[in-house]
Structure 1
Amino acid sequence: MKLTASLRTSAAAAGRGLDFTHAVIGGGVVGLAVARSLKTKLCIEGRERLYDLCERWNIPHKKCGKWIVAQTPQQLEKLQQIHALSNDLNVPTSFIPLPKASTLEPLIRARAGILESPTTGIIDSHTYTHALLGALSSAGADIALNTSLTSVRALPDGAGWELTTRDAATGEESTITAVTLVNAAGLGACEVNNMVLPAERHMKAFYAKGSYFSYSGAAPASRLIYPAPEPDLAGLGTHLTLDMAGQARFGPDVEGGAGDSRVCAWD
């Protein structure tokens, strides 16, 4: 059986009136500037595999590219560091001359510099999620939506895991045994981690809330626009993203943080 947090989260989000029509296919640049090596490796490899899957499964997507803009000399220095790291990782990036940038994107202002990530793109997240659902079902997997994991017990002699789950609608509990347990619980990953590991290795989640702002007019750019990363800024900064229809939105901002009781996992 496969308890898929991504599908469960999509269903829960829909129930709260949220609508995620697209997702960003990361180019392996901004978010990985401070990432650990495993995440860096998997993101870069996953980007190419995801584009390949989109082509094979006819999932709507667009390799629109991304600009990271610097407004100060300090931000430009950060872009130069990202560019050097990208070269080391064989992730394509290049600086766009500001006069050329003004021609390509007249409404985008960058006082110090622009770094381009041409392999960044967007994907229709609804079609992608349903394609994964179909593939899992065809492979014989059972999908348990609205089902929470309540406990995990290691079986003797490394034989696997015993998982206890609870159906949200009926409250009925079930027991599942599995050779391998993958913790892909998203916002609940720390909770699952703490079910498995001893107390001295428990982790605590610190939540922050991000809001997006819609833009009703014509999109001011034809690609994603990100600010240069700031060292003391939570998140990646408010950026401009596009959906598959070319509509723009801005976000996310960051509200709350460590110790802020107003923000919880499902806000």
Structure 2
Amino acid sequence: MLYDTVIIGGGIVGLATALQLLEKKPSLRLLLIEKENQVAAHQTGHNSGVIHSGLYYKPGSLKANNCIKGYHQLLDFCQKHEIPHEICGKIVVATTEEQIPLMQNLYDRGIQNGLSGLEILSPEQMREIEPHVAGVKGIKVPQTGIINYKVVAEKYAYLIQEKGGRIQLGEKVSSISEREGKSTIVTQKGSYETKLVINCAGLYSDKVTQLTERNPINLRIIPFRGEYYELKPEKHHLVKHLIYPVPDPNFPFLGVHFTRMIEGGVEAGPNAVLAFRREGYKKTDFSWPELKETLAWPGFRKVAGKYWKTGMGEYYRSFSKSAFTKALQALLPELKEEDLIPGGAGVRAQACDEQGGLLDDFAIIENAQSINVCNAPSPAATSSLSIGDTVSDLALKRIID
């Protein structure tokens, strides 16, 4: 069979793209290939489960536009399909006077991005929402919510197949070749011919892009592991909603925070440390070929050289529970080391260019054979239906009946 399009990657972005394509053109011959034996096995399945409001992102950026549009699409989807979620709200806390200008910038961005109901909070007002929090000022963000994105992704997958799309699990793409305007995708189990390749491979999106590019691309995926603790059940009362710090504007990470989970419980974290393999969820996970590639990338060396002190601090927290606790105590002073138990971990696919820039926006690279979603970290899960909308529109312009 000649497919109209083959999507590589069964995370939430790949699935949302497939679903949007079939919603717009039900007659499409569509195949989605995932190397694992289940969908949502990596970034989606290890997601912290936050429905992001669009507060943090530069107005007019792909992140801002897709997050705000995707937020409403996601909520409509969850209501239609009865997927558990809760819009519980959060507060962003400035713990020092020096953070107040950065916090004000966040508030201004939120207003520019169309968020309603944002409030600047005094310490007393913060404690009315979160009685145990400490800080000099805060922002109330009523739109933030919680969800299980693996459940969302599984529903996407069900609907794709119901609409006639095909999902092939347990197949890793080894090569892509082009001939006479058509691409042949080869896996360890077979080969598939298509008019258009759509790459949503997440942690391996740069590798898949390189399979369709004649020239080297100016980015690499750098894997950052985020490690979590959970609060013991008897300490769940310390967190009523979600509690975030004011993030460091130099990094595309939001800092350690407290997140209520939709199934119950409270997560604390994550830190952000270099993972020694792209799917390295444990400290002991290691791949010398993948680590060697990371260390050899000029952009990563520039990032490491510039921010080595911050990186060392993250590693210290990774191996020191007391240091991790101290970072969390800036927000919740009552918290004690013994209140925390080990939680899960996720790996973020962060694109880094050759000049040492950590890409702050979503990145889509097109060539003759393919559309490549090359940088889709948080808030990609919140934005998934909107990203799928964008990519599907690009695809439909190129797919000829």
1:63–1:122 CA contact under 8 A, matched in 2: yes
Over aligned residue pairs, what C-alpha RMSD do you find? 2.7
Q: 1:23 aligns with which of 18, 26, 49?
A: 49
2:182–2:193 CA contact under 8 A, matched in 1: yes
1:105–1:222 CA contact under 8 A, matched in 2: yes
Q: State the 1:28 CA deviation.
A: 0.8
Which residue pairs with 1:266 in the alignment?
279
Q: Distance in 2 between matches of 1:90 and 1:37?
A: 13
Q: Distance in 1 between matches of 2:207 and 2:7?
A: 18
- Residues 1:130 and 2:135 aligned together: no
Which residue pairs with 1:117 in the alignment?
141
Deviation digits for residues 32-52 of structure 1 (CA, Å, limit 9, x no counterpart): 24x871222111110100000
Unmatched runs of 5 consecutive residues or more in structure 2: 1-5, 13-33, 281-401
Which residue pairs with 2:105 in the alignment?
81
Q: Secondary structure at the match of 1:69?
A: strand
Which residue pairs with 2:183 in the alignment?
161
> Normalised by the size of structure 2, how large is the TM-score?
0.57
Which residue pairs with 2:205 in the alignment?
189
Q: Distance in 2 between matches of 1:10 and 1:67?
A: 38
Q: Distance in 1 between matches of 2:148 and 2:170?
A: 23
Q: Distance in 2 between matches of 1:103 and 1:38?
A: 35
1:210–1:255 CA contact under 8 A, matched in 2: yes
- Give the AA of the match of 1:99: E
2:176–2:211 CA contact under 8 A, matched in 1: yes
1:3–1:145 CA contact under 8 A, matched in 2: no
Q: 2:81 aligns with which of 57, 64, 67?
A: 57
Which residue pairs with 1:108 in the alignment?
133
1:234–1:254 CA contact under 8 A, matched in 2: no
- Give the AA of the match of 2:130: E
Q: Secondary structure at the match of 2:197?
A: coil
Deviation digits for residues 159-189 of structure 1 (CA, Å, limit 9, x no counterpart): 45322222xxxxx2x2222233222111111
Which residue pairs with 1:259 in the alignment?
none
Q: 1:255 aligns with which of 247, 256, 273?
A: 273
Q: Secondary structure at the match of 2:268?
A: strand
Q: State the 1:3 CA deviation.
A: 4.1
Q: 1:70 aligns with which of 49, 71, 94?
A: 94
2:245–2:256 CA contact under 8 A, matched in 1: yes
- Residues 1:239 and 2:265 aligned together: no
Q: Distance in 2 between matches of 1:84 and 1:165?
A: 48
> Normalised by the size of structure 1, how large is the TM-score?
0.83
Q: Distance in 2 between matches of 1:75 and 1:38?
A: 26
Percent identity over the alignment?
23
Deviation digits for residues 193-214 of structure 1 (CA, Å, limit 9, x no counterpart): 2112232425322222111111
- Give the AA of the match of 1:206: I
Q: State the 1:252 CA deviation.
A: 1.1
Q: Secondary structure at the match of 1:235?
A: coil
Structure with the larger strand share: 2
Q: Secondary structure at the match of 2:224?
A: coil
- Give the AA of the match of 1:6: G
Deviation digits for residues 207-253 of structure 1 (CA, Å, limit 9, x no counterpart): 22111111113422221111101134562111111111331011111
Which has the larger displacement, 45-54 or 121-130?
121-130
Which residue pairs with 1:169 in the alignment?
none
Q: Distance in 2 between matches of 1:186 and 1:200?
A: 18
Deviation digits for residues 72-100 of structure 1 (CA, Å, limit 9, x no counterpart): 22311111111112211212332123212
Q: Distance in 2 between matches of 1:94 and 1:130?
A: 36
- Give the AA of the match of 2:87: K
Q: Which has the higher contact order (CA 8 A, sep 6+)?
A: 2
Q: Distance in 1 between matches of 2:120 and 2:178?
A: 51
Which residue pairs with 1:203 in the alignment?
219
Which residue pairs with 2:64 in the alignment?
40
Ranges of 4+ aligned residues in structure 1 off by more than 6 Å = 12-15
Which residue pairs with 1:139 in the alignment?
163
1:194–1:202 CA contact under 8 A, matched in 2: no
Q: Secondary structure at the match of 2:91?
A: strand
Q: Distance in 1 between matches of 2:64 and 2:252?
A: 19
Q: Secondary structure at the match of 1:182?
A: strand
- Give the AA of the match of 2:119: S
- Give the AA of the match of 1:266: E
1:75–1:229 CA contact under 8 A, matched in 2: no
Q: Distance in 2 between matches of 1:251 and 1:175?
A: 42
